[in-house]
Amino acid sequence: MTRKPYKTEKIKLNFENSQLLGGWDVNKEPDCTSVLLRKDGMYYLGIMDKKANKSFYCDCLPSEGSSYEKVDYKLLPGANKMLPKVFFSKSRKSEFAPSEVITKAYENGTHKKGANFSLSDCHRLIDFFKASINKHEDWSRFGFIFSETNTYEDMVGFYREVEQQGYMLGFRNVSEEYIDRLVDDGKLYLFQIWNKDFSEHSKGTPNLHTIYWKMLFDERNLENIVYKLNGQAELFYRKKSLDLCKTTVHKAHQSVANKNPQNDKRESIFEYDIIKNRRYTVDKFQFHVPITINFKATGDDRLNSATLEAIRDGGIEHIIGIDRGERHLLYLSLIDLKGNIVKQFTLNEIASEYNGAPCPPTNYKDLLVAREGDRNEARRNWQKIENIKEIKEGYLSQVVHIIAKMMVEYKAIVVLEDLNMGFMRGRQKIERQVYEKFEKMLIDKLNCYVDKQKEATDIGGVLHPLQLTSRFESFRKLGKQSGWLFYIPAWNTSKIDPVTGFVNMLDTRYENVDKTRCFFSKFDVIRYNGDKDLFEFTFDYDKFTDKAKGTRTKWTLCTYGSRIKTFRNPKKNNQWDNEEIVLTDEFKKAFADAGIDIEGNLKDAICSLTEKKHLEPLMNLMKLLLQMRNSKTGTEIDYLLSPVADADGNFYDSRNEISTLPKDADANGAYNIARKGLWAIRKIQSAPSGEKPNLAISNKEWLQFAQQKPYLDD
């Protein structure tokens, strides 16, 4: 495998200052030698030479003429450490003058929660801190508004108020001429902070990182802080590693072929040059800066219990079930709290918009199949692997966006299969690793959900983000719930009759004559129904297995419809092949070959057979009879057909495309995953307020729930 030729390492820069970018407070500017500037909607990072580290450290900077806005940043960090450090310091003791009573109580620690805690000493210390803050030359500028002292139960509440209000960001004008002179004299290195959203050619909605960055300096945010700028930023340098002559350049005003083969628009024309891997053809400085989102959050870790209470109070109205399909990358089913399907659709295709206009949907399943091509070749070719990786990440990003938006729009929880249960299906189009990446991306997205299309102050807008999942630690620690995200075992969600709840628990493997005769002897009645032209096999699961204990055990299997038989075809070099089998006709042939008259109860006649040539075909047909999912290789044929009739005598057949039922096999998986979520909701609603119910649904509980009569009246 060859390494990407244009990948190079980044070098961290410090401009001979170990404290570079350590903080933004105006008092730390000489130490951290860094300032932020803004001009005409653009942002700039200024790095001062160490010998000119006080270039901005005065109250009377020149501001005449055209000017930049300099960010003046004030922060009171770590109030529980900073206030005592300053107000009890020897150097300023005479200035703040703590009384002997306050000093002694502080030294004895009676203001702290514990065996020696004194609420009166705590309140006395808080009053002293309040008065001292008003005397402090910097901290008095914050304009603190504190609660009444007698309302504090301990120091924690007071320190929290200090930290939530101890952040201030403003601007003052600095002459452009002064900035230019600093740059010309080598006293200031000025960098423009840039990403694609600042380009005049940028189209569409800015990405979230741009929105967050701009919101740091937005007056609406500064009135009630949601986004806080942090110190400990970093600056990196990456030297160019790709010559312009060695990459593809599409000249302006010349047609460019669209990369997506599914796009009806085959070519595009741009008014500017398009350079492939342009970022590697130029030297780059990269600016990494941390921010805090939801600055005033108290760190309450009650999201799971808050979600349970919201469910009890009717705050959840829908359930989204997501399944990894065999014909679909992912399938989504949205149901209401009565189990009715509201929406069901594949996530193979993703529709998008451009400047408000809908674009043709992209079929990512077909795109991935086409891009993967020969897997062995892909493993040897770095470029192919990178392309596939980028497509998958782009796909998952769009899927996560769709799901998150639906959750908010429909007030829905999301239910996923629990991969920790050791249950693993082998034919999914999304492998486990990619599926776990999808889970992680979804959790991260829902940690702080922002809809870029909403107004900033709307619920879900940038100034009112939603937290719908707990912070991700590991898949092992997820449990059965992460906020609005729930996990269920995937046992019998796909191959189950969504109407009657029937699942196959019979072993139809042919082993020998005696075992086959024993198998058929356990049926109550086997007969041909001439009126309906089908065979009926009536039985009780209790005679076959203990797996159905506590659930519905009495069923009648009917040879309704056809099944798709998959087999190795010797006429085609022993390759896999398919054949459609009309069950009733094939059973008639098998009985005729065995010399069995199909009148009356056929059980005794079958059990009297003594030859493999007669019994093995019957066993194979029983296997097909119980085969609910029917797929034809290389085609779009993939349907579910139940062998059991409902109370009205109808057999569930996904080909009928009834809107109230799953419309294909993968849709059935998503629907039943959602229904297991409905079981969880009903379990939560029936539990007393404040109690955490056990949401680990057993196989027995699932079948009982799926087999309710009638289901929707529960």
**Long-range contacts from 591-597, C-beta under 8 angstroms, 24+ separation:** 593/617, 594/618
- Nearest Cα to 465, choosing from 474, 456, 477? 456
CA distance 320 to 676: 11
Catalytic residue among 25, 70, 666, 676: 666
- Nearest Cα to 639, choosing from 668, 675, 673? 668
Catalytic residue among 25, 417, 536, 586: 417
CA distance 340 to 675: 10
Task: Give phi and psi for 288, each to the nearest 5.
Answer: -110, 120
- Nearest Cα to 195, choosing from 266, 88, 256, 285? 285
Could you tell me if residue 48 is left (phi over 0), alpha (psi between -120 and 50 degrees) or otherwise beta? beta
User: CB–CB of 76/166 below 8 Å?
Assistant: yes
Contacting residues for 592 by C-beta, under 8 A, at least 6 apart: none
- Nearest Cα to 187, choosing from 34, 70, 49, 45? 49
Catalytic residue among 29, 69, 121, 323: 323
Is 235 in a helix, a strand, or coil? strand
In Å, how far are 300, 491, 551 from 554, measured between CA atoms?
A: 50, 21, 9
In Å, how far are 261, 348, 365, 637 from 370, measured between CA atoms?
A: 10, 14, 9, 20
Contacting residues for 271 by C-beta, under 8 A, at least 6 apart: 201, 252, 253
User: Is 28 among the catalytic positions?
Assistant: no
CA distance 307 to 313: 10
Place of tokens 């307020």: 689
User: Is 148 among the catalytic positions?
Assistant: no
User: Is 417 among the catalytic positions?
Assistant: yes
User: Is 666 among the catalytic positions?
Assistant: yes
CA distance 102 to 122: 9
User: Is 250 among the catalytic positions?
Assistant: yes
User: CB–CB of 580/673 below 8 Å?
Assistant: no
Alpha helices (runs of H) in 294-380, residue ranges in sequence order:
303-312, 364-372, 375-380
281 DSSP assignment: S
Catalytic residue among 250, 296, 405, 440: 250
In Å, how far are 78, 99, 120, 157 from 152, measured between CA atoms?
A: 19, 21, 11, 6
CA distance 646 to 640: 15
Contacting residues for 155 by C-beta, under 8 A, at least 6 apart: 80, 111, 112, 122, 125, 126
Catalytic residue among 54, 135, 209, 276: 276
Catalytic residue among 259, 477, 572, 613: 259
Alpha helices (runs of H) in 110-235, residue ranges in sequence order:
119-135, 155-165, 176-184, 208-216, 219-223
Contacting residues for 658 by C-beta, under 8 A, at least 6 apart: none
Query: How many Cα atoms are found within 13 Å in the side-chain-facing hemisphere of 301?
Result: 2
Query: How many Cα atoms are found within 13 Å in the side-chain-facing hemisphere of 683?
Result: 16
Separation of CA 251 from chain center: 39
Is 101 in a helix, a strand, or coil? helix
Separation of CA 100 from chain center: 56
In Å, how far are 403, 414, 430 from 697, measured between CA atoms?
A: 24, 16, 25
Task: Give phi and psi for 74, each to the nearest 5.
Answer: -130, 140
User: Is 283 among the catalytic positions?
Assistant: no
- Nearest Cα to 458, choosing from 401, 408, 398? 408
Give me the active site residues, please. 250, 259, 276, 323, 417, 666
